[in-house]
């Protein structure tokens, strides 16, 4: 019997990026900006945008 992750490596990496973006947003404590993950799979980046804009 073998136990493996049900997510691909890209999915796990994206999850880490999302967590990092949330942490950056909380640390900066700006009321009008938020950090999000954007881009193609494998080329995802954390960017800062105004709240309400996507």
CA–CA dist 52, 20 (Å, integer): 20
Indicate yes or no: pTM above 0.85.
Answer: no
List, as one string, the DSSP characters of 21-41. Answer: HHHHHHHH--SSEEEEEESST
The band of 53, judged by pLDDT with boundaries at 50, 70 and 90, is: low
Q: pLDDT value at position 23? A: 92
pLDDT tens digits for range 5-51: 676 777 778 888 999 999 998 888 777 889 999 988 778 899 999 88
Residues 6 or more apart in contact with residue 20 via CB below 8 angstroms: 46
Q: Give the angle 33-19-40 at the CA atoms, nearest 5°.
A: 80
Q: pLDDT value at position 30? A: 74
Q: pLDDT value at position 54? A: 59
């Amino acid at each position: 019997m073998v136990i493996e992750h049900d997510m691909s490596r890209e999915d796990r990496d994206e999850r880490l990026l999302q967590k990092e973006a949330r942490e950056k947003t909380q640390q900066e404590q700006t009321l009008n900006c938020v950090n999000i993950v954007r881009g193609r799979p494998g080329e995802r980046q954390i960017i800062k945008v105004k709240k309400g804009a996507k």
